[in-house]
Amino acid sequence: MAEILMASDLVRLRRTLKEQFCCILAGPCDYTGRDMASSHKDHGITNREFNALVENLQLAMNREGVPFRAQNKLLAKLAPMQRDVVTR
């Protein structure tokens, strides 16, 4: 049962991340996820964990050949979310 729940959560996470990135970059999509503060409030995320996520995102964009300038554009739009995500 837990495996099914984890898989469906991963599917939802992937979908909402794509939606969020699309919306942040003024794409033609709607974000259906929750706001960052309420969706992360009970996770106890630290600055170190947040920074690790950013590094992983950069590695993924490098691997996919996303130009450095486009990476910076996305990261600059995501940066203000840190205050809503980091709770410890």
Tokens 């990476």 belong to residue: 71
Taking the model in full, what pTM does it have?
0.72
Cα–Cα distance measured from residue 49 to residue 54, given in angstroms and rounded to the nearest whole number: 9
Q: Per-residue confidence of the chain (88 residues) as pLDDT tens digits?
A: 444 445 558 888 888 888 988 988 888 998 888 888 887 887 788 989 989 989 999 999 999 999 999 999 999 988 888 988 898 8
How many Cβ atoms are within 10 Å of 15's Cβ, its own excluded?
12
Instruction: Specify the DSSP class assigned to residue 45.
Output: -
